Chain A
C-alpha cells in the first residue's frame, strides 16, 4: 500500500447564479514513502486545487469534494476539521508558492516555527526553541539564533522559503506537498531550494508531491509525473519515460516549448501551444485539449477520450488521448487495452 492514495478526486466550485466549475475531475494517483511525484500543468489546470484538497484546506462553503484521499491508511476527505487539524502540520505539511506572503509579517520567525512544534510535538517553549534552531541550521540558514528573533521582512526571499521549508519539515511529516516552491524566487536561488528539498526527502524518507508548471523542476526532482489539463490527468509516467516518450500532444507541446541551449539556428522559433487554457471542451463531450491540439481529429469530440495504456503493467504509462504522439491508429474504447 502506498503512503498516499488519491482515488477519483473531484472538486467542484459552486456559486449561486453561476454554472458550477469542476476544477478537479476524477484524479487518481499514488505517492510512496521516499518517492517524489510531480504534478505538472499550467495555471487553471487544477494542480493547486488538488494539493489543497489533499490538505483539506479548501473552504467548506461553495466547494464539494468527491473521491477519497488516504494517507497511511487514514481517509482524509471524510475526516472532521478537528481530526484534520491534528494531521495537518504533523503527518502532511505544505510549502507554498510565495514566501513573501506566506509568512506572517508581524510574528517572529522563531514563533512561527516553534508554534507548530508546540502544537504537534508537545514540546515546551524552551525545547521548541532549541529544536527550531536546529531546523534553521538544517535548511541552511546561517546564524539561526539571531534569525529566530527576526521578522520575515528582514529576510531575503530565498531565506524565507528556507524558513517555510523548516516549518514544513518541523514535525517530520510523512508527506510533503510543495506547491510551486521556486516560482517566486530568482533562478540561482531556485536551484538551491530544489537541492535542499531533494536532500531532505532523501534523508527523511518522506513522500513528496511537487506541484509545478516547470518541467525542468520535474526532471531534476521527481520519480513519477502526472500531467494535468483542465482538471484531469492526461498522462502519467516515470520521469525518464515521460521525457523520452511524451505521448499526449499536450505533454509533447510542453516539452517542445522549452528553449534549447544547443539550438544554434536563429530561424528556429520557440515552439508554442496555440490558444489558451480557456479554449476548452467539457470532458464529457470530448478532449478538453482538442481546440488547441495539432493532432486533433474528428474522434476527439466523440465523448470522453479513453485512457490508453502505452506502458506495461510494471511500468505503466497511461495516456488520455485517442491519437497519442507516435501512434498512427485512432484509439477508441475497443482497442485501447492492448
Chain B
C-alpha cells in the first residue's frame, strides 16, 4: 500500500517536469514575448526592455528555465501581476472556495446521478430511461456559462429565490477561520452564516455539476445494464435473495467500479469548469482568479495555477486508484 502511494507520487516528477517545460515554452512563445504581452501592443521598446531585465527575460533561455524550475519546486511562482502578492498565497487563500464549490457540485452529481442512472437501467427502454438519456446528453452539451446565466436569470432574477453572486451576503459580518464558509458557520456556531453560504453555493454548484452529473448518469446506467445480465446476478436470484440484497451486494457493488473511476476523472472537469462558473457567479475562488489572470495576462498566476491543478489531478487519481483497490479485491495491491 505504502509502496503503491510512493510509486504514484514519484510518477508526479516526470509529469511535472514535462508540464514545466510546456508552460515555460508557452509563455516565451507569446507574441512579442512575455514583456510585450504584458504591456500590450502599444508599449514602447524602452518599457519592454525595462520589464525584460526586471523579470530576467534578457538572460539565456536555459538559465531562465532553471530559475523558473528552481522557484517552482519551492512553490514560488513569482508575484501575481494583478495584486503584487505571491501567486501561491493568492491561490491558497482562494482554494477553500473552489474546493467547497467542487465538493458541492460533486455531491449533487453523485447523489442524483447514481440513483438516476440505476433507475434508467432498471427501467431500460421506458420513458424514464429516455428522459435520463436525453437529459444527460443535454447536460454534456450545454455550455456551463450558458447554463450558469440561465440558472441565475430564472432562480435569482425572475424568481428571486437565491442570491445572484458571491459567496456570502455582503452585509454579513462573519469570521472565516477555515476559509470554507459553510464549515466556518458551523465552527463559529453561526448557523445562519452556514445557511447563507449554502444558498450562495446552490446555483454555481448546480451549473458546475451539469457535466459530471450527465457523465455519471450515463456510466452508471451502462454499468448497471452490464452487471444485471451477469451470471452472478442470476446466481443471486437463484438463491432467492431479497431484491434489496441483490441490488446492494451484487449489482451496485460491481456496477460502482467504473463509476468510481469516472468520478475521479470528473474532478478534473470540475476544476476546469470552476473557471467559468466562478466568473459568472463572481465566486471568489481560484477559478475566478485564473479567469482574471488570463484577461490581465498575469502569466505567473496562470503558470502556478496550471502546475497546482496538475498536482491535484494526479493526487486525485491516486486516491481513486486506492479506493478502487478497496472496492475490487482483484486489483487490490498486495
Closest residue of chain B to A52 (Cβ to Cβ) is B234
**Contact, CB under 8 Å: B234 / A96:** yes
The 8 A CB mask of B225-262 against A (1 = contact, 0 = none) is 00000111011111111100100011001100100000
| Contact, CB under 8 Å: A101 / B230 | yes
Q: Given contacts A85-B242, A107-B253, are A102 and B232 in contact (CB under 8 A)?
A: yes
**A187 CB within 8 Å of chain B:** no
Q: Report whether B237 and A106 are in contact in the complex, using a CB–CB cutoff of 8 Å.
A: no
Is B19 an interface residue when CB atoms closer than 8 A count as contact?
no
A96-B234, A101-B230 known; A116 and B241 CB under 8 Å? Answer: yes
A318 at interface by CB-CB < 8 Å: no
Give bound CA distance, A30 to B166, whole Å: 75
Cβ contacts under 8 Å, A107 to chain B: 249-250, 253
A88/B239 in contact, CB under 8 A: yes
Q: Do A151 and B330 touch across chains, with their CB atoms under 8 A apart?
A: yes
Contact with B along A80-118 (1 / 0, CB 8 A): 000011111110011010100111111100010001100
Give Cα A116 to B327, complex, Å: 22
A-contacting residues of B (Cβ < 8 Å)?
230-232, 234-242, 245, 249-250, 253-254, 257, 327-330
Interface pair A89/B241, CB less than 8 Å apart: yes
The answer to whether B254 and A106 touch across the interface, beta carbons within 8 angstroms, is: yes
Interface membership of chain A positions 152-169, coded 1 if the CB is closer than 8 angstroms to chain B and 0 otherwise: 010000000000100100
Contact A101 B238 (CB under 8 A): no
Please tell me if A55 contacts chain B, counting CB pairs below 8 Å.
yes
Interface contact A153-B329, CB-CB below 8 Å? yes
| Contacts across chains A and B counted by CB atoms under 8 Å | 79
Which residues does chain B contribute within 8 Å of A94, judged by CB atoms?
Answer: 238
Residues of A within 8 A of B230 (CB): 101
Is the CB of A119 closer than 8 A to any CB of chain B? yes
Establish whether residues A57 and B232, one from each chain, have CB atoms under 8 Å apart when the complex forms.
no
Q: Report the interface size for chain A: residues with CB under 8 A from the other chain.
A: 29
Decide yes or no: A89 and B232 within 8 Å by CB, A105-B329, A106-B327, A151-B330 being known contacts: no
With a CB–CB cut-off of 8 A, which chain B residues contact A86?
A: 240
CB-based contact A105/B242 at 8 Å: no
Contacts of A87 on B, CB cut-off 8 Å? 240
The main secondary structure of chain B at its interface with chain A is helix
The answer to whether residues A119 and B241 also contact, given A104-B250, A106-B254, A151-B329 and a CB cut-off of 8 A, is: yes
A202-231 contacts to B (CB < 8 Å): none
Compute how far the CA of A70 lies from the CA of B115 in the bound complex, rounded to whole angstroms: 39
- Residues on B with C-beta less than 8 A from A57 are 234, 237-238
Chain A CB within 10 A, most for which of B236, B238, B245, B254: B238
Q: Are A89 and B231 in contact (CB under 8 A)?
A: no
Q: Can you give 15 contacting A-B residue pairs, CB < 8 Å?
A: A90-B240, A94-B238, A96-B234, A96-B238, A98-B231, A103-B232, A104-B232, A104-B236, A106-B257, A116-B239, A116-B240, A116-B241, A119-B239, A119-B240, A167-B239
Which of A96, A105, A115, A151 is B245 in contact with, Cβ under 8 Å?
Answer: A115
Q: Which residue of A lies closest to B241 (CB)?
A: A119
> A94 vs B239: C-alpha distance in the bound complex, in angstroms?
8
The answer on a CB contact under 8 Å between B235 and A103 is yes
* Bound complex: CA A106 to CA B329 (Å): 6
Which of A57, A84, A106, A167 has most B Cβ within 10 Å? A106
Are the C-beta atoms of A96 and B240 separated by less than 8 Å? Answer: no
Given contacts A105-B330, A151-B329, A153-B330, contact A96 B253 (CB under 8 A): no
**B253 surroundings in chain A (CB, below 8 A):** 104, 106-107
Task: Given A104-B250, A106-B329, A107-B250, check contact A85 B232 (CB 8 Å).
Answer: no
